[in-house]
């Protein structure tokens, strides 16, 4: 598939072991383009790279920062291929693309396989991506550098976010840590319960 609006491309493959363990269609994609960022950070596809850490599929899959270490809804068999600009994660499970809501830890199966997902994220208004957060960041004079994601506050899953949120670009690894800790804290809290959210993110 031809990719449009690629604003960053990953380095050459230097993690051949990970590449060989992937689904054939994903292996073919990363052999041609070893991960990339589309549309100024709207979505980031990881690559078969040992570094940088934020781009490494191995790191997100089986490394120290593996998503399955932080989210009980994931297993080591789930392959975290991509993330939205606000840190929601997309992973392959049995050939289908699934969505992990990073704030809550909940997972949902999308209607897409890999090729369908690639087509979807290149649509003008892809429903699975939080394009509004990126638009807001740009309107406020900000931008996403490679390795950054958008911290949204209050979190989207809270009632307070309906009144508006502020957005800020921060390192992707910091946002992963914040989201995972937040999801852990609210895991057993009933819907509608009042909570206090504290963050040490600068």
Asked whether residue 201 is domain-assigned, the answer is no
* Alpha helices per DSSP H over 33-100: 57-62, 67-70
Place of tokens 């230097």: 14
User: What's the pTM?
Assistant: 0.92
- Confidence check: pLDDT of 25 > 80: yes
Share of the chain above pLDDT 90, in %: 88
Cα–Cα dist 189/9, whole Å: 40
Answer yes or no: are the C-beta atoms of 99 and 127 closer than 8 Å: no
Place of tokens 């979190």: 155
Tens digits of per-residue pLDDT, 176-185?
999 999 999 9
- Confidence check: pLDDT of 202 > 60: no
Residues 6+ apart with CB under 8 A from 199: 153, 178
Q: N- to C-terminal Cα distance for the chain? A: 39
Domain of residue 14 covers 1-190
Q: Would you state the pLDDT for residue 187?
A: 84
Q: How many domains does the chain have?
A: 1
The gap from C-alpha 143 to its chain's centroid, in whole angstroms, comes to: 17
- Confidence check: pLDDT of 100 > 70: yes
Asked whether residue 196 is domain-assigned, the answer is no
- Confidence check: pLDDT of 81 > 90: yes
Cα–Cα dist 162/80, whole Å: 29
Share of the chain above pLDDT 70, in %: 93
Confidence label for 1 from pLDDT (cuts 50, 70 and 90): low
Q: Would you state the pLDDT for residue 2?
A: 72
Asked whether residue 199 is domain-assigned, the answer is no
Asked whether residue 168 is domain-assigned, the answer is yes
Tens digits of per-residue pLDDT, 109-156?
999 999 999 999 999 999 999 999 999 999 999 999 999 999 999 999
Query: Which is nearest to 54 in space by CA: 10, 19, 97, 5?
Result: 10
Asked whether residue 143 is domain-assigned, the answer is yes
Q: How would you classify residue 154: left for phi > 0, otherwise alpha for psi between -120 and 50, otherwise beta? A: beta
Cα–Cα dist 81/43, whole Å: 11
Asked whether residue 198 is domain-assigned, the answer is no
Query: Which is nearest to 134 in space by CA: 201, 4, 42, 44?
Result: 42
| Average pLDDT over every residue of 80-99 | 98
Asked whether residue 197 is domain-assigned, the answer is no
Asked whether residue 149 is domain-assigned, the answer is yes
């Amino acid at each position: 598939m031809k990719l449009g609006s690629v604003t960053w491309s990953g380095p050459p493959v230097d993690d051949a072991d990970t590449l060989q363990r992937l689904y054939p269609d994903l292996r073919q994609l990363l052999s041609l383009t070893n991960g990339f960022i589309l549309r100024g950070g709207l979505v980031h596809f990881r690559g078969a790279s040992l570094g940088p850490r934020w781009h490494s599929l191995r790191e997100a899959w089986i490394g120290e920062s593996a998503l399955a270490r932080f989210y009980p809804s994931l297993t080591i068999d789930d392959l975290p291929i991509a993330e939205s600009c606000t840190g929601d994660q997309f992973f392959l499970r049995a050939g289908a693309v699934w969505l992990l809501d990073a704030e809550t830890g909940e997972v949902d199966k999308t209607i897409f396989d890999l090729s369908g997902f690639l087509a979807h994220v290149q649509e003008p208004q892809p429903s699975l991506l939080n394009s509004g957060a990126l638009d807001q960041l740009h309107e406020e004079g900000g931008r996403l550098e490679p390795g950054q994601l958008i911290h949204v506050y209050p979190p989207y899953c809270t009632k307070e976010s309906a009144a508006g949120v502020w957005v800020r670009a921060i390192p992707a690894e910091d946002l992963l840590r914040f989201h995972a800790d937040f999801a852990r804290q609210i895991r057993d809290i009933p819907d509608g319960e009042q909570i206090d959210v504290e963050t040490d993110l600068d």
